[in-house]
Structure 1
Amino acid sequence: MAVYFFWGEDDFGIAQAVDQIKQSVLDPAWLSFNFQTYDGSKEESTIEALNETMTPPFGMGGRLVWLQEATFCNNCSEALLTQLQRTLGVVPESSHLLITARKKPDKRIKSTKFLQEHAKVREFSPIPPWQTEALADRVRGTAQELGVKLDRGAMELLGEAVGNDSRRLWNELEKLKVYQGDRPQPLNRHEIQKLVAATSQNSLQLCGAIREGKSGDAIQLVGELLAQNEPALRIVATMIGQFRLWTVIKVMMESGERDDKAIAKLADLRNPKRLYFLRKEIGRLRGQQLLKTLPILLELEAGLKQGAIAQEILQTKVLELCQLFR
């Protein structure tokens, strides 16, 4: 018996994980008998899924019941909670229950706590673009999964090229696997440059242009990002994350803090060694300059959410930000 709970907005990542479970659990010849999907947003179909999980599989292989878009980890009736408590601990060994949801579970409610005790929980949320270490870790893990050998430079460049697009990462690595063939040597940075169409414009580069006060470059980057169908709110989320990171580090430095671990903890950096590069990025800046960016960015985010025209408000606010660093 296995119960899985996958949540997050990375639909491709969840689809890949689901496919792996299907291949490991189900016999293709008995797929139509032993694989069922249910609507997890409805209590009655959720109860049906729990009951179906208790049914032994037909023929060969196991049974897989997939409860999609489950909502009971955010809002659960007493009746459904009772059914969960009756079922999850006694599911037959030959059955597997897969529960997926886009929304983050509420850890305070009983149903979530109970599910976490009985299920294998995995988060599938897109990695924020400014978390470059996490992006590199994901490249490394996915490359190992597909059997693609990359050196450190290749991993870093591939992470920069695909960002947090897990679908594109998978597709690029499959292409690189064919190119590599049986060659034992890992692919290097130069080969990635030739084989992967890197997007030279990204939101982090926009942050860098603003930091340097280069208004012309920044406005051009805004236009190119929007032309690539990059969602405006995603651009702003990256900007907020990056400028918050710079602000926290600079303010702590100016306050006299010299403990890298303390700075890294407050800035949500897993690797304190990265502070060396971040300090160089903000070396000539003042904490007061960086602090002034945050209200402008929040105004930008609020404007977009209230229906402002993306290109107009982005250009206006980006120019305001660039003025701070001239």
Structure 2
Amino acid sequence: MPIYVYWGEDDFAIAKAVTTLRDRVLDPLWMSFNYTTFSPEDSDAAIQALNQVMTPTFGAGGRLVWLMNTNLLQNCPENVMAELSRTLSVIPENSCLLLTSRNKPDERLKSTKLFKQFATEFREFPLIPPWKTELLIQAVNQAAQTVGVKLTPKAAELVAEAVGNDTRLLYNEIEKLRLYAEDSDRPIQEDTVIRLVRNTTQNSLQLAAAIRVGDTAKALTILADLINAAEPELRIVATLIGQFRTWLWVKLMVESGERNPQAIAQAAEIGNPKRIYFLQQEVQSLSVAQLISCLPLLLELEVTLKQSRPEIAILQNKIIELCQVCRRI
């Protein structure tokens, strides 16, 4: 059935998928007649969308009806559920119904089960955790291949460090590298990446390193640089949480007597066991109790930033607290 469900936190990746679907389904000359979007604020958006998707197309191409940021997979009224049951199985082949949402579908709902039964594509677009370096590098290489850029392995690693899990920034930086390289067949080297790609995630990791050794002055300076570079506060906190989580797992495994790098890497969700040696050195001066104490502070900071207007003072105060925890003997 021509039904597509896209969900997840990677808004840019979802937007690219929607654009690809739209270009495939619609004839540009007839787009204004056959392309309809419904926002969550629209009254009876779901019912209107179902009626629209059953309407015959005008002219060439197909029809695309998009329910944007819908909550049908989290909360579906009975009257809408009844209409879904009557409609989904009989949508014309040249019409497409698209649903997008940031929230995870509730697998218990009848509406979710119904969409999973009839959907041509039921796809998640998650953000890669900032600490999963190998997945970030894979995303860089995939973006480079899509855009038509060749990167050396070290250059791809540097791009991953710079952009983290920001897909929009990744494609912007890859496009910048493509324009710089023009039609050259030579892979882009690491020195070019250092000159052209703005590094923010690596600075967040440097912030984590400063906190780890209790260097409050350096940590606050790095934080100020990140804020001045317009780095989102929640992304900074996400990187810190991922780094401290990794350090805690490594420390717990070492304290338990585990010496096998592969086993430690598996527990800490680290793809490259060779990183374990360096991580062990980093956490050598910290206790398990210190690392455990840091995570609630970071999670509290994340919740505070999500519930209120981000303020530099909130971040500064929490960074100072974290440095004090790590400085204790």
In the superposition, the TM-score normalised over structure 1's length comes to: 0.88
Q: 1:115-134, aligned counterparts within 5 Å? A: 115-119=115-119, 120-134=121-135
Amino acid at match of 2:36: Q
1:239 matched to 2:274: no
C-alpha distance in structure 1 between counterparts of 2:56 and 2:308, whole Å: 52
3-state DSSP of counterpart to 2:44: helix
1:187 matched to 2:188: yes
C-alpha distance in structure 2 between counterparts of 1:308 and 1:22, whole Å: 36
Task: Please provide the CA RMSD for this pair.
Answer: 2.6
Distance 1:240 1:175, change over 3 A: closer
C-alpha distance in structure 2 between counterparts of 1:49 and 1:270, whole Å: 44
Tell which deviates more after alignment, 199-208 or 248-257.
199-208
Shift of 1:270: 4.8
Shift of 1:205: 1.6
3-state DSSP of counterpart to 1:242: helix
CA deviations on 1:82-105 (whole Å, 9 max, x unpaired) are 222222223222111111112222
Shift of 1:14: 1.9
C-alpha distance in structure 1 between counterparts of 2:146 and 2:62, whole Å: 24
Amino acid at match of 2:221: Q
Amino acid at match of 1:249: V
Shift of 1:31: 0.9
For the Cα contact (< 8 Å) 2:39–2:68, is it kept in 1?
A: yes
Partner residue of 1:216? 217
Distance 1:191 1:235, change over 3 A: closer
C-alpha distance in structure 2 between counterparts of 1:165 and 1:84, whole Å: 35
C-alpha distance in structure 2 between counterparts of 1:34 and 1:159, whole Å: 39
Partner residue of 2:197? 196
Shift of 1:46: 0.8
C-alpha distance in structure 2 between counterparts of 1:271 and 1:116, whole Å: 35
Shift of 1:302: 5.3
For the Cα contact (< 8 Å) 1:129–1:204, is it kept in 2?
A: no
1:15 matched to 2:25: no
Shift of 1:218: 0.6
3-state DSSP of counterpart to 1:4: strand
For the Cα contact (< 8 Å) 1:289–1:325, is it kept in 2?
A: yes
Distance 1:183 1:72, change over 3 A: same
C-alpha distance in structure 1 between counterparts of 2:279 and 2:118, whole Å: 42
Shift of 1:264: 4.0
Aligned residues: 326
For the Cα contact (< 8 Å) 1:43–1:80, is it kept in 2?
A: no
Shift of 1:17: 1.5
In structure 2, the gaps of 5 or more residues are: none
Q: 1:95-174, aligned counterparts within 5 Å? A: 95-119=95-119, 120-174=121-175
For the Cα contact (< 8 Å) 2:161–2:201, is it kept in 1?
A: no
Amino acid at match of 1:315: Q
Tell which deviates more after alignment, 54-63 or 295-304.
295-304
Distance 1:194 1:217, change over 3 A: same
In the superposition, the TM-score normalised over structure 2's length comes to: 0.88
Distance 1:202 1:144, change over 3 A: same
For the Cα contact (< 8 Å) 1:41–1:70, is it kept in 2?
A: no
CA deviations on 1:273-292 (whole Å, 9 max, x unpaired) are 54344334324433233122
C-alpha distance in structure 1 between counterparts of 2:129 and 2:251, whole Å: 21
For the Cα contact (< 8 Å) 1:201–1:221, is it kept in 2?
A: no
Partner residue of 1:5? 5
In structure 1, the gaps of 5 or more residues are: none
Shift of 1:309: 7.5
3-state DSSP of counterpart to 1:97: strand
Distance 1:303 1:4, change over 3 A: closer
Partner residue of 1:228? 229
CA deviations on 1:112-166 (whole Å, 9 max, x unpaired) are 1221232212223433322322222221121111121112111111112222222
3-state DSSP of counterpart to 1:64: strand
C-alpha distance in structure 2 between counterparts of 1:41 and 1:264, whole Å: 46
C-alpha distance in structure 2 between counterparts of 1:200 and 1:245, whole Å: 16
C-alpha distance in structure 1 between counterparts of 2:273 and 2:118, whole Å: 35
C-alpha distance in structure 2 between counterparts of 1:188 and 1:306, whole Å: 42
CA deviations on 1:200-252 (whole Å, 9 max, x unpaired) are 86322211111122222111112222223334344333322321221122112
Shift of 1:11: 2.7
Shift of 1:262: 4.9
